[in-house]
Amino acid sequence: MEDIVIYTDGACSGNPGPGGWGAVILVDAKEIQLSGGEKLTTNNRMELLAAISSLKIIATDDTLKNRPISVYIDSQYVKNGITSWITSWKKNGWRTAGKQPVKNQDLWMLLDELNNSLNVSWIWVKGHAGFKYNEMCDQLATKAASTYA
């Protein structure tokens, strides 16, 4: 069974400000481009929404949801959050190590549910380093953000 490959990115003009997210899903020789945004948001929320939106598509497709998924993401925040920090956050009642409420808890809960229901590997890639699909996601996110400016 061939892996599904997802690239994601988020963008924000001002932080907070108008934001956008972009994603590319590579599956069965198809390239599916997704994007969206919000008028007043943060870069981290857009990074999270890119991953959530992509994984939702896989999770709701019976022919895809049992396949391995590799998510390539340039956000250390999302990668570290979902692979490491989230365990402590949940154990501590959605509080950080500094006892503060976890920011973006609503989105983390959605991402956690999707991550646990699918076979996802999270791979960090350096942003703006010439990776074709990462650059494509950046363009999708930036374009989406501009529609909310």
The conformation of residue 89, written as its DSSP 8-state character, comes to H
Arithmetic mean of pLDDT, 14-31:
96
Domains of the chain, each with CATH number or no CATH: 4-146 (3.30.420.10)
Give me the amino acid identity at 14.
G
Stated pTM of the model: 0.96
Of 43-47, 66-70, 123-127, minimum mean pLDDT range? 123-127
Distance, CA of 62 to CA of 121 (rounded, Å): 19
Answer whether residue 117 shows pLDDT above 80: yes
Answer whether residue 129 shows pLDDT above 90: no
The conformation of residue 130, written as its DSSP 8-state character, comes to -
Catalytic residue among 9, 19, 20, 37: 9
User: Is the separation of the CB atoms in 57 and 42 below 8 Å?
Assistant: no
Catalytic residue among 20, 22, 47, 81: 47
